[in-house]
Chain A
Amino acid sequence: MTIATDDALAAFATTATSAVAQCAGLDPRGRARCLAEAGLIGVLAAEASGGLALGLDHAVPVLHAAGAGLLGYPLLESMLLAAALGERPEAARIVLGDATATIAWSGGAQLEGGLLSGTAGRAPMADSADLVLVRLADGAALVDATGPGVIIDAGDGLDLEAAECRVILSGATPLALLDGDAMDAILQGARLLWAAAIGGAVETCLAAAVAHTSTRVQFGKALVSFQSLRHAMARQKLAAEHIGAAIARSLMHPDDRLARAAAFAAATRFGASAVESALQLHGGMGFTWDIPMHRHLRRIRAWDAQGDAPGLHRRLAADLLAANA
């Protein structure tokens, strides 16, 4: 993998920030078009499918902007799925924004006699998707979300921007199958990109906390002048930098699975507490529906579950024990 220049990455960040802002006023299909026109969905996808065939280092600033801007679109899923599908026709449809796609991160399906059955969960926005990837015991299967044998119903996750859905399969026909390595590559990529999105969310919440405490006056002084609050914000900054540091190192060592796992684990752990702290600094306002702190917090909790952070920690510990047997 070549390491991109800072200028090239900054250009991706700027484009993504502007596209994410535009998406706020659009429906899911409009968002797909908007993100596709900005060239974002195809960052990782093959050139033959209309993609840019770039590395994950270019996707990081895009997901950072998506997290910062509360994007309501399964962009992470679309980018990784389009890349995994290579030159299959579905890849081009996703890249161009003609089809919306998502991934059911939990549960999965069995493939018997060429037909899929089972229940998958944690599929962001599957209710408005054309294509859904569900996991198999070894690999994954792509299905038509509106096809026969596929029922999408509301999930019970916390995220409000890209609500999680359940995918119930009973005799659905797969459009495409991915092998175990391809699914693993999706998971590895997702861990890095969730970390990037959480990093973006933390920075947005920190900026809001700085703005709020700089203007809100209590005890005759701006809140920002109280050292305990300054230190709380310094810790939020520290969380954002931890996430950035772990991502940077993972990009330096793309094959180091521990480094990749650490980026995701660091993001869910430090990211969630940083947003909780930013919420706290908003006082009563932080507890309201209208102040978006809770939206960021909800998403981080959802991503934590989608990436199975608890299971990942168990596997890391098991690796540690095995290495010191």
Chain B
Amino acid sequence: MQPGLSGEAFRAHVLAWLAANVPAGIRIDQPGYQEPDLEACRAFEAALHKGGLAGITWPVEYGGHGLTIREHLIANQEIGRRGLPESINSLGKELAGPIILAIGNEEQKLRLLPPLLEMKQIWCQGFSEPGAGSDLAGLRTRATRDGDHWRINGRKIWTSASPWADRCLLLARTGALEDRHKGLALFAMRMDAPGVTVQPIRQIDGSTDFAEVILEDVPVDAADALGAPDEGWGAAVRVLSIERATNRMYRAWRFENELSHLMRACRSDATLAGLIGSGEYHRRLAEIMVDIEIIKGYVEPTVERLAEGEAIGDRGSLMKLHWSEAHQRFAVLAMELLDQAPPGAGDEVAAARARFQSTYLRGRAETIYAGTTEVQLGIIADRMLKLPRER
């Protein structure tokens, strides 16, 4: 990529790159789609980075492309529109990486960030525990200093990507449990360290993308402690509030791809074409379009604010609440329509049904992870509306 591209010149680069480099069969909305395996995903994401479509805002010295969040938005719009595979390293690119950029030291940035973008190291996130889900401050996994390294003991759960991850962004307690948010530290733990056991957990769609991670006396180099021992929680909250507003920025455009895919599948079958043409579904289809526009309405002005250096506060909670519920509404509609296809419906309907059955089932997680709907509502009530507590 030519250095320093911006705005529409950057979009032209993105369009040209995607036209030339997207492998056949990995676009989920196209005929001939075959679900890519882990290695195919890894290779494609590495190519995206090399082509200048990932790590866009990260400094060049850490493997990034040194551009602005506006270019990040442009790349995400085009990626979303094409129904490309979901990132297998989004926790690295959108959580661990930004936290390392915020609180890591120079040596850590140089050592950890380039392999992450090059897809040589995939990250998972070790925050939730069996006894600390929404209430993370109650987490019990303990980090104890042992000479030149730390020893970790505890259990993490719902750890997405852990079955194939190389590193874990681990939140562990160095102080007393009573200290709640204080005394929580972050580590870049190696997943191949002795004492790490990953026990995959089967999900509602039958896949095993997450696991319980058991940590028994796991040694972590002091050099892999991120920030000061009591800096973990503050850093996590700070980064999470921005990430919640900016992660998977392609989402609205990917939803458009899903809606468009659904429409084409329905049109391929006379029964379904009759249903969507009859007006019975027009209001709901239009409401999905409006839902998508609202997501864009959160994303684009937020990108402008961030690009201008403004704070965005807790706006990520608003966006997360909306997109997760809107996506579930869409999935319900897609299932309802496709389930009315006759038994002899063709391949396009079958492919769409496979996609949207998965969207429906996996979508149930969207109002749970990254702060449940109830947690987000609490954030809005407490921090945005500042509603008084019981006196």
Contact = CB atoms under 8 A, between A and B. Distances in A.
Nearest to A236: B385
A221 B385 CA distance: 19
Contacts of B381: 230-231, 233-234, 237
B318 interface: yes
B103 interface: no
Given A258-B293, A262-B297, A221 B287 contact: no
Most buried by B among A214, A262, A263, A314: A262
B235 interface: no
B172 to A, nearest CB: 30
Interface residues of A, number: 44
Interface in B275-308: 276-277, 279, 281-283, 285-287, 289-290, 293-294, 296-298, 300-301, 304
B309 interface: no
Interface in A274-325: 310, 312-314, 316-318, 320-321, 323-325
Contact of A230 (B285, B376, B378): B378
B77 to A, nearest CB: 13
A261 B321 CA distance: 22
B193 interface: no
A230 B383 CA distance: 12
Interface of B: 259-260, 263-264, 267, 276-277, 279, 281-283, 285-287, 289-290, 293-294, 296-298, 300-301, 304, 315, 318, 321-322, 374, 376-378, 380-381, 384-385, 387-391
A246 B390 CA distance: 34
A245 B297 contact: yes
A314 B276 contact: no
A151 interface: no
B377 A320 contact: no
A224 interface: yes
A214 B289 contact: no
A241 interface: yes
Contacts of A265: 286-287, 290
A221 B390 contact: yes
A316 B286 contact: yes
A262 B290 contact: yes
A269 B322 CA distance: 14
27 contacts: A210-B385, A222-B388, A225-B390, A234-B377, A234-B380, A237-B381, A237-B385, A238-B318, A238-B322, A241-B315, A248-B301, A249-B297, A252-B300, A259-B296, A259-B297, A261-B290, A263-B297, A314-B282, A316-B285, A316-B286, A317-B279, A317-B285, A317-B286, A320-B259, A320-B286, A324-B267, A325-B267
Given A242-B322, A324-B267, A249 B389 contact: no
B267 A246 contact: no
B389 A225 contact: yes
A245 B294 contact: yes
Contacts of A85: none
Interface string A23-66: 00000000000000000000000000000000000000000000
A240 to B, nearest CB: 10
A324 B377 CA distance: 36
A235 interface: yes
B390 A266 contact: no
B290 A316 contact: yes
B290 A320 contact: no
Contacts of A242: 294, 297, 318, 322
A318 B289 CA distance: 12
Contacts of B297: 242, 245-250, 259, 262-263, 266
Given A324-B260, A324-B264, A324-B267, A259 B293 contact: yes
Contact of B282 (A227, A250, A263, A313): A313
Given A224-B387, A242-B322, A248-B301, 10 more contacts: A225-B389, A233-B387, A238-B318, A245-B318, A249-B296, A252-B301, A266-B290, A314-B286, A317-B283, A321-B263
Contact of B321 (A224, A238, A247, A250): A238
B390 A234 contact: no
A62 B296 CA distance: 24
Nearest to B382: A230
A314 B279 contact: yes
A266 B290 CA distance: 7
Contacts of A231: 374, 377-378, 381
A265 to B, nearest CB: 5
B189 to A, nearest CB: 35
A78 B68 CA distance: 42
A241 B387 contact: no
A249 B385 contact: no
Most buried by B among A241, A263, A323: A241
- Closest A-B pairs by Cβ, 4 of them: A262-B293, A245-B297, A317-B282, A313-B286
A238 B377 CA distance: 9
A20 B285 CA distance: 38
Given A238-B380, A245-B298, A249-B296, A214 B388 contact: yes
Interface in A67-116: none
Contacts of B322: 238, 242
B293 A310 contact: no
